[in-house]
Amino acid sequence: MADEDILSDDLLRQLMSVGEADILVGIHTHNNAKTIGQLVQIVREGLLKYFPRERVAILNVDGGSQDGTTDLVRAAAISDVRDATPFYALRTLHCISTKYNDVPSAGRAMHIVVAAADLLRAKACAIVAPESSEIQPDWMNRLLRPIYREHFDFVAPVYGRQRFDGMLVTNLMYPMIRAVYGKPIREPRPGEFGFSDRLVSELIGHELWTQDAGRIGPEVCFTVSALADDARIFQTFLGPKGHVDHQPADLVAALRQTVAPLFWSMDSTYASWNAINVVQTLPSDGPEYEVGMDPVHVDLTRLHQMFASGVVDLQDVLKSILSTSTLAQLQSVAALDETNFQYSDELWVKVVYEFAASYHRSVINRDHIVQALAPLYRGRAYAFLTENLNASKDDLAEHIEALCRTFERLKPYLLECWTAQEGGS
Amino acid sequence: MGDMIVSELGQAWSEFARALAHLLPRLLTVLIIAIVGWVIAYVIKIALRSVLRLVKFDHLSERAGASQLLNTAALPSPSELLSQLVFWIVWLSIGLAGVSFLGISVLQHDIATILSFLPRLLVALVIAFLGMLVANFFARAALLAAVNSDLPSPHVLSDVVKVLIVVLTISMAFEELGLAERTILIAFSIVFGALMLGLAIAFGVGGRDLARQFLERRFSDDRARRKPEDHLSPL
């Protein structure tokens, strides 16, 4: 889709009145009245404090809010931050708000931000999640400084999490991306991140915007594009992840937003990852990993039951996706009761790799492949929870590290599945 | 008397010989038409099979679940099946057109009927094939949705979806063929009505608790309907 189709006339007019900008901050909203006013104020405060001499613009892209979100953005934009803080801008801080005529979509909103950044020739951009309840003014510095002053291309956040929050990230996304692309990105689906003008020019015409994966999970596609383009990546610690309550409660929706974009990106960037067999370290500031040890409330029996019944009920679907030996092992695990349950790292990694290869080959409808992973993830989550329920922070970190090493050790198996199936098609 | 018999036999023989002489070239023509028809049908089959392979028709069918269906029925791959079908239809059409060249008036009427029936047969087969694909796709979608929503008896739901689509497909295919239209329509209405009524009764009376839970989950606040598993965000 061309720039002129992405940017509405009204937005174009507003962007032209801005002219050029050094820094652009994009905020995608959809009924975020509860948090957006304060969030815009904090973003402005951070920009005034850390980038007083730069030409800065905030772009709010709204997906048709009905709760007055855009009014709150406008109000926050004209309210005088200077009264509350000792920081003064030496240039005008523009705050633009626009709506797009489409169903709310993170991908659509992000595409608008990227197109606007391209038009404004912004050197550094940041995306901020509208529900970031823990946001601090210095996040602007942490996300934008490495790009604007140190010439990195992509700044990925690291959040402090409770020990079992984000198990899909710790048990699949992080270790798989680390093994496949050779870079340990802790948060492959970041709520907040920064990117450079070089990455904007790479992504402006990218096919991801026209694909379901890009529409539903643009953050993952964005991250993987940065990895595949060999961009200079920096990780920055932002503090506690403040929007856990707003994450999808539905596991299938979560898989569609993360695993589907990852598999899709792997498919389109095969040439850039197939030869990687070394994991690099990434420059970073702050701790690379931080977990809280709050007590956990979860119905383990239900998790186990949903895994066991899922494997039985989806047997025919899994036959199309998994190899005979992996399916047989899964069925053996599903037949175990809770006391004897063992779902090894190796089996989990083989399952994930075979799913990725089957997605690549489209053995059945791709969305069905992603949905079929849900019960198998529940089994993995059950195993991870029971093994680590009484583990210390260090033990937990070591277990995740061991899983990462298994993903890395079995990467040849992924390549084997990938190429063997290609040969067979 | 003997001369008369010999004369009649001679006349009959000469008439038979004349008729045979009249028919043989036509038979030969029919044979040539059949051979040429076979060649044409074969060329079309090869071309169609190549095109289907080029557009990865088997791959698409595999994704839609048609290949598994055909494997179960010990049938060849979808592209092979379709090209074989087209081969037989083309050859049969040309062959029958050739037979009508014989000039046998009784046959001509029947051949015209069969020839007019063939395109409808092809359309009906295509409807049936596509219907099976759609049925498989939606049955699998229903199964996955039911399993991931932790609904009881997900296979029943999946099978109901499949049966409904298959029954609808068969009724459409028969309607296209013009066979027992009313019977099929009535049978479909009865099956569909009975199924819906059965489901309504089962859901409303037999599954009051399930209905209540469903409605609660559907209309209550998102946070309230989160299950314990959901206290841990996967992301």
Q: What is the CATH number of the domain that holds A115?
A: 3.90.550.10
Nearest CB to B63 within list A317, A364, A378: A364
Same domain, A342 and A238: no
Same domain, A253 and A320: no
C-alpha distance from B196 to closest chain A C-alpha (Å)? 25
Same domain, A318 and A284: no
- Locate tokens 């598994």: which residue? B68
The 10s digit of each residue's pLDDT in B22-72 is 888 888 888 898 899 999 999 999 999 999 888 888 877 776 666 666 666
Same domain, A237 and A106: yes
Sequence spans of domains, chain B: 27-102, 107-219
Chain B residues near residue A377 by CB distance under 8 angstroms: 234
Chain B residues near residue A169 by CB distance under 8 angstroms: 234-235
Spatial CB neighbours of B101, under 8 Å, sequence gap ≥ 6: B26, B29, B30, B33
Same domain, A55 and A194: yes
How many angstroms from the chain centroid is the CA of residue A368?
Answer: 21
Same domain, A144 and A191: yes
Shortest CA distance to B139 belongs to which of A250, A313, A259, A355?
A: A313
Same domain, A252 and A116: yes
Residues linked to residue A341 through DSSP beta bridges, in sequence order: none
Is A409 within 8 Å of A346 (Cβ atoms)?
A: no
Domain edge (last residue) among A262, A292, A322:
A292
Scanning A222-261 for CB atoms below 8 A from B yields 244, 247-249, 251-252, 254-255, 257-258
Phi first, then psi: give them for residue A152, nearest 5 degrees.
-80, 165
How many angstroms from the chain centroid is the CA of residue B188?
Answer: 17
pLDDT attached to residue A84: 57
CB-CB under 8 Å, A363 with B62: yes
Residue type, B159: D
Which tokens hold the place of A308? 């066991």
Residue type, A400: I
The C-alpha torsion from A296 through A302 and A304 to A307, rounded to 10°, is -120
Same domain, A400 and A338: yes
Task: Return the residue in B61, B217, B235 with the most chain A beta carbons within 10 A, the one to mutate for interface testing.
Answer: B235
Chain B residues near residue A308 by CB distance under 8 angstroms: none
Domains: count for chain A: 2
CB-CB under 8 Å, A306 with B233: no
C-alpha distance from A166 to closest chain B C-alpha (Å)? 4
Is A274 within 8 Å of A415 (Cβ atoms)?
A: yes
Domain edge (last residue) among A244, A263, A292:
A292
Which residues of chain B register pLDDT less than 70?
A: 63-74, 180-181, 203, 205-231
pLDDT attached to residue B24: 85
SS3 for chain A, per residue? CCHHHHCCHHHHHHHHHHCCCCEEEEEEECCCHHHHHHHHHHHHHHHHHHCCCCCEEEEEEECCCCCCHHHHHHHHHHCCHHHHCCCCCCCCEEEEEEECCCCCCHHHHHHHHHHHHHHHCCCEEEEECCCCCCCCCHHHHHHHHHHHCCCCCEEEEEEEEECCCCHHHHHHHHHHHHHHHCCCCCCCCCCCEEEEHHHHHHHCCCHHHHCHHHHHCHHHHHHHHHHHCCCCEEEEEEEECCCHHHCCCCHHHHHHHHHHHHHHHHHHCHHHHCCCCCCCCCCEECCCCEEECCCCCCCHHHHHHHHHHHHHHCHHHHHHHCCHHHHHHHHHHHCCCHHHCCCCHHHHHHHHHHHHHHHHHCCCCHHHHHHHHHHHHHHHHHHHHHHHCCCCHHHHHHHHHHHHHHHHHCHHHHHHHHHHHHHHC
Shortest CA distance to B129 belongs to which of B67, B190, B214, B50?
A: B67
CATH of domain B107-219: 1.10.287
Same domain, A148 and A210: yes
Same domain, A310 and A284: no
pLDDT attached to residue A158: 93
Same domain, A284 and A413: no
Gap between the Cα atoms of A274 and A180, Å rounded: 8
Same domain, A78 and A152: yes
CB-CB under 8 Å, B144 with A372: yes
Gap between the Cα atoms of B77 and B92, Å rounded: 22
* Per-position pLDDT tens, chain A of length 425: 555 578 899 999 999 999 899 999 999 999 888 889 889 999 999 999 999 889 999 999 999 888 888 888 888 777 655 555 666 666 778 899 999 877 888 999 999 999 999 999 999 999 999 888 888 999 999 999 999 999 999 999 999 888 888 899 999 999 999 999 999 999 999 989 999 999 999 999 888 898 888 999 999 999 999 999 989 999 999 988 865 555 556 899 999 999 999 999 999 999 999 999 899 999 998 777 777 777 777 889 999 999 999 999 999 999 999 999 999 999 999 999 999 999 999 999 999 999 999 999 888 889 999 999 999 999 999 999 999 988 888 899 999 999 999 999 999 999 999 998 554 43
Residue A126 CB neighbour total at 10 angstroms? 27
Spatial CB neighbours of A39, under 8 Å, sequence gap ≥ 6: A27, A32, A128, A130, A132, A135
Nearest CB to B148 within list A167, A251, A381: A251
Residues linked to residue A23 through DSSP beta bridges, in sequence order: A56, A124
- The pTM (predicted TM-score) of the whole model is 0.82
CA angle A383, A386, A388 (to 5 degrees): 105
Residue type, B165: I
Task: Return the residue in A187, A363, A365 with the most chain B beta carbons within 10 A, the one to mutate for interface testing.
Answer: A365
CB-CB under 8 Å, B235 with A257: yes
CB-CB under 8 Å, A298 with B228: yes
B103, with CB counted inside 10 A (0-12, 13-18, 19+), is: exposed
Q: How far is CA A23 from CA A121, A174, A196, B134, in A?
A: 9, 29, 10, 50
Nearest chain A residue (CA) to B234:
A166
CB-CB under 8 Å, A297 with B147: no
- The size of the A-B interface in CB pairs under 8 A is 96
**Can you give the residue range of the structural domain that contains A387?**
300-424
